[in-house]
Amino acid sequence: MIPQLIPIQIKPGIVRDTTHYSNKGGWWDSNFVRFRNGLPEKMGGWQAATSSTFLGSCRSLINWTTNDGLNRTGFGTNLKYYILTGGNYLDITPIRKTDTLTNPFTTQSGSSIVTVTDASNGVVQNDFVTFSGASSVGGIPADNLNQELKVVTVVNPSTYTVDTGYVATSSTTGGGTVTAVYQINTGLDTYVPGVGWGAGTWGRNGWGQPSDTPTTGTQIGLWSSALFGQDLLICQRGGGIYYWSASTPNARAVNITTLPYASDAPTIATEILVSDVDRHAIALGCNQLGSSTQDPMSVRWSDTESAANWTPQSTNTAGGFQLSNGSKIVTGLRTRSEVLVWTDSAIYSMQFIGAPYVFKLSLLSGYTNISGPKSKIVVNDIAYWMGRDQFFLYNGRVSVLPCPIRDYVFSRLNKNQIEKVYAGSNIAYNEIIWLYPSTNSSENDSYVIFNYVENAWYFGSIVRTAWLDKSYAQYPTATDNNGNYYYHEYGFDDGSTNPPSPIDAYIESSPVEIGTGNDFMFVRHAIPDLTFRTSTATSPAVTFTMEAQQQPGGPYSGVQNKNVIKTGSYPVDQFTEKLYTRLRCRSLIFRVESNQLGTGWRLGTPRIMASTDGLRG
């Protein structure tokens, strides 16, 4: 065969639920690479949105502008709830109770840890309490006591310890008359599964042996949030519902039961939503009317335009109903025309129809599931969610969303931390993103993306706990597990370090062959086709790697690495003309990778100069 230029055209998207060879002509692996117009390109980087940090792991984000045009972002962490304004975090975490104590502090000489006595204080580890009015004790100054302190340990129902940050010079008890203001209980950052005798099916293991089947543990700290006009409704999962007024931004959120004209408001709920045009506050998994006990399948809503009045009357539209399919409500989602509600085995639709029934309830599917409260998103009035073993969508009917990397994703999903799965969108690139924890991680360290325009899937690794598409902000934003908040699609580098670090972005193909792969081919050279688009590096570069294979699954016969360098000043579309490879093989694997500051790139259609070279190995 006379040598000829052969274009390498590879289908968009990553495919892993097959063998490496049977995916020939497709892409196999990637990191920080997306597809646009069928072609792969490096994703944008990220930069800190503010120099301030927050406490805890954020798993709830909401962004809006108030009536006076101020931009607000709500952050729900396992420890606190914050409002970001002007680059600073306002702590609006609700108050649980206030106690007046007498000589509550006991010091230990040589230690900054102080024991606090308060009968029936109700704290859990990592709770926050603010003291005022205290006098110095054991050499610890009053200023070190009269502040917000974090509970270090819970000794018993009447005593707990805090760290004052100042070492006591004597062991004594005192403090005088002290006011203690307790914030609502904090949540866990990591789900701890139960194991031991009695876990799982009886008799599954030998007598006296612990079961390896996790049982229900204490849930992680999760918040839901919904706008009520310019104000905010927030709900700590399994706790109360709280109201924050934008007109008094420095005030903490208050329980809706304390609002003016409050009537029969829920005292405990799984989640809070607000319907669209009619503006009803909707509580999922809440206590029923006249009861203080949480009902995990109960749905109640307030009177229209009121977050306080929940008493059903002939003169208002408050009401509620009981779901029947499932054992608990997991989450809800407002779309343009309805409210979707997921239980652990079904999905329902709530549609506003007006008086006297207010909402119409319809069972959409009794054979679906959802991985966690944050794993759903609505884009263009289509709902997408990640289940426990596959992906779904709802566009008028519930369907399984075909995914060619399904086995790859769910086989490496840490099922013990599945409630941390977080769904987001990046509409500028037509993407739905799911952040999830991999098998060996207790935190979201991986992502999987569905591009609904390209009908392509791709994946990679990054530590992010929550994601928010750009709305009133210029960029999509996300949080990590160290209290940082980032702008994404910002430049091409990792701005979490100072100075920024390069991002290792790559994409690798499955085997590419001439014809049926019967003959060997001799590849004389390759002609790359890349653009470095808006790179800021003086000489942006990628590494273009071709890996030669003799047989599927066999060792590579050789690896040829060449740098493709864009010469000239920015921006210049001038590329390396040829890579002299001289490889003999049956199939080639192509890999494009960059690990350089300020480098963005987009791959086109590279070509190889190749000819058939007989059958002998």
The CA distance from 443 to 445, in Å, is: 6
pLDDT of residue 552: 65
pLDDT of residue 114: 98
The CA distance from 214 to 380, in Å, is: 38
pLDDT of residue 209: 40
Mind listing the pLDDT tens digit for each residue in 10-23?
999 999 998 888 88
pLDDT of residue 524: 79
Evaluate the CA torsion angle 107, 113, 114, 118 in order and state its sign.
negative
| Confidence at 208, pLDDT banded by 50, 70, 90 | very low
DSSP state string for 21-65: TTTTTSEEEEESEEEETTEEEEPP-EEES-S---SS-EEEEEEEE
Q: Which of the pair, 577 or 594, is modelled with greater confidence?
A: 594
Give the DSSP H or E segment for 409.
helix 406-411
Mean pLDDT confidence for 566-578:
40
Mean pLDDT confidence for 534-557:
75
pLDDT of residue 566: 27
Lowest mean pLDDT among 369-378, 515-524, 525-534: 515-524
Mind listing the pLDDT tens digit for each residue in 70-98?
999 999 999 999 999 989 999 999 999 99
Give the DSSP H or E segment for 144.
helix 142-145
Q: Report the chain's mean pLDDT, rounded to a whole number.
A: 89
pLDDT of residue 132: 98
pLDDT of residue 575: 55
pLDDT of residue 270: 98
The beta-strand segments (E) located in 455-606 are 456-461, 466-468, 477-479, 485-488, 494-495, 505-509, 512-513, 521-527, 530-531, 541-549, 556-565, 579-585, 587-594, 602-603
131 forms beta bridges with: 180
Q: Is 66 exposed, middle or buried (0-12, 13-18, 19+ CB in 10 A)?
A: middle
| Confidence at 569, pLDDT banded by 50, 70, 90 | very low
pLDDT for residue 557 is more than 90: no
Mean pLDDT confidence for 212-229:
75
CA atoms within 13 Å, Cβ hemisphere of 398: 22
SS3 429: helix
Mind listing the pLDDT tens digit for each residue in 53-73?
999 999 999 999 999 999 999
pLDDT of residue 576: 66
The CA distance from 173 to 141, in Å, is: 14
Mind listing the pLDDT tens digit for each residue in 398-454?
999 999 999 999 999 999 999 999 999 999 999 999 999 999 899 999 999 999 999
Mean pLDDT confidence for 161-180:
98
Closest CA to 370 of 400, 330, 398, 317: 330
pLDDT of residue 196: 42
pLDDT of residue 331: 98
How many percent of the chain have pLDDT more than 70? Answer: 90
pLDDT of residue 194: 57
The CA distance from 371 to 386, in Å, is: 6
